[in-house]
Structure 1
Amino acid sequence: MKKFKFKIKTDENGNSIWYPVIAFVIVFGTFGLLFGTYKIRQHINQQNLIKSELAYQRAHDPVLKQHNKFIKQVATPSVALYKENKQVLPSIVIAQAILESDWGKSKLYTNAYNPFGIKGTYQGQSISYDTGEYINGKNVTQVGQFRKYPSLQAAIEDHNQALYKEFIHKTGMTSYKEQAKLLQKNTYATDPNYAKKIIKVIETHKLAKYDKQAMNN
């Protein structure tokens, strides 16, 4: 079998003519590696700077601060209640409070601690306000009688029992989509898009994390 040997070419003085080429490749490769590393670090630093700026904006944005505060106010008792009775998911409670009270800015909430728009009386207490209802496919304004609560805690506890007894009828549910659809099916609200609105609020504000928190005893 014929053997092949790699021959290093040399110049007339016997010096390898590949040394300059090899040296160039090494230098160029090292430079390319360093430059690539620099660009990666620069990109990471830019991303970290953007994240820091966004975090600063979120921390100092008065609207976001108010929204986060309201979510926490509703989330804390909602999580505790689900841990206790496994009835209404916290995400549903929070989303309804956001949607019905406009982040706690409605008169019904500020004057009656009722962020859910629950009608009727609570321990004999009620308050009347105009409300929009869908009748025969049309949105009309009517005067409604709403429950007046002494505190947000009382409102959440009463809301929990009302939803379970009248609209959900199940314990141990883990899907906010299923609960939202049950509210729609059993006419918690006359709005034909109510379930979609609740689900959108939950997903927009990442409220499902409170469901996970409540399920992890």
Structure 2
Amino acid sequence: MPQKRRYTKHRTPRRKSGRKNNNTTVILLAIVALFVISFFGYRRYVQYQNETKVEMVQQKHTAFIKKISPYAVELGQDYGVLPSITIAQAILESDWGTSTLASQYNNYFGIKGDDPANTKVLQTKEYTDGQWVTINGRFRVYSDFRESMKDHTKLLVNGTSWNSQQYKQVLQSKDYIDAAVALQADGYATDPGYTSKIIRVIQKYNLKKYDQGIK
């Protein structure tokens, strides 16, 4: 008996849909977009944080100047010391009132003393023989910052115990640049860059305006 011939039905293979590839592309683009947004968002966040810190520092600096400038002017009128010099020295010597000597002992000018009853021994850096060295120094302790400012003014007016005329050039200077040069020449600080630092601070914060009317 003859066998029936079998016929095999051939199906045309379907083309794979492009949806899978499209979905992958969308996901990749979303990841890239998320990365870009996150990256620039983070940069903006960092920038904002930095700007905030700078603004806070500026506010603290302004507050410090407002705090001591009225008394600096009063002392300048009474003793003839330029207020710009007094304020700039306080800024540098006390690191804007934040140093241990300033914040705990109200000594804004690094003034030293001999009496153990009103002094405190602290480490400090001095420039000696062409290099910075750390030493122990005995510094004056004050009840408030005004007492420190007045003692600083009297030091410039009366000189040291070994030389009453030591800061005569500072007193005679009616311009802050001349006074800053005289400070270093008369031996107030060992830092070789002291003069330029004083001048830079005065110019940056326009401290010269406090010298008006000082004779």
TM-score class normalised by the smaller sequence: 0.5 to 0.7
- Looking at structure 2, the residues matched to 123 and 129 of structure 1 have their Cα atoms a distance apart, in angstroms, of 12
Q: Is the 8 A contact 1:126 1:148 kept in 2?
A: yes
Query: Which residue of 2 is the match for residue 174 of structure 1?
Result: 174
For 2:74, give the aligned amino acid.
A
Q: Does residue 1:92 correspond to 2:85, yes or no?
A: yes
Query: Residue 123 of structure 2 aligns to a residue in which SS?
Result: strand
How many residue pairs match? The answer is: 157
Q: Is the 8 A contact 1:91 1:208 kept in 2?
A: yes
User: Could you tell me how far 1:64 is from its partner in structure 2?
Assistant: 1.5
Kindly provide the CA deviation profile for residues 98-121 of structure 1, in whole angstroms up to 9, marking residues without a partner as x. Answer: 111111110100111011111115
TM-score, normalisation: structure 1: 0.67
Larger Rg belongs to: 2
1:23-172 mapped onto 2 (5 Å cutoff): 61-86=55-80, 88-121=81-114, 124-166=117-159, 167-169=166-168, 171=171
Q: Is the 8 A contact 1:121 1:148 kept in 2?
A: no
TM-score, normalisation: structure 2: 0.67
Query: Which residue of 1 is the match for residue 7 of structure 2?
Result: none
Query: Residue 61 of structure 1 aligns to a residue in which SS?
Result: helix
Q: Which runs of 4+ in 1 moved over 2 A?
A: 121-124, 164-168, 170-173
User: Could you tell me how far 1:123 is from its partner in structure 2?
Assistant: 9.4
- Alignment RMSD, CA only? 2.2
User: Could you tell me how far 1:215 is from its partner in structure 2?
Assistant: 2.8
Q: Is there any run of 5+ residues in structure 1 with no aligned partner, and where?
A: 1-56
- Looking at structure 2, the residues matched to 72 and 117 of structure 1 have their Cα atoms a distance apart, in angstroms, of 21
Q: Is there any run of 5+ residues in structure 2 with no aligned partner, and where?
A: 1-50, 160-165
For 1:155, give the aligned amino acid.
S
User: Could you tell me how far 1:82 is from its partner in structure 2?
Assistant: 1.1
- Looking at structure 1, the residues matched to 179 and 189 of structure 2 have their Cα atoms a distance apart, in angstroms, of 14
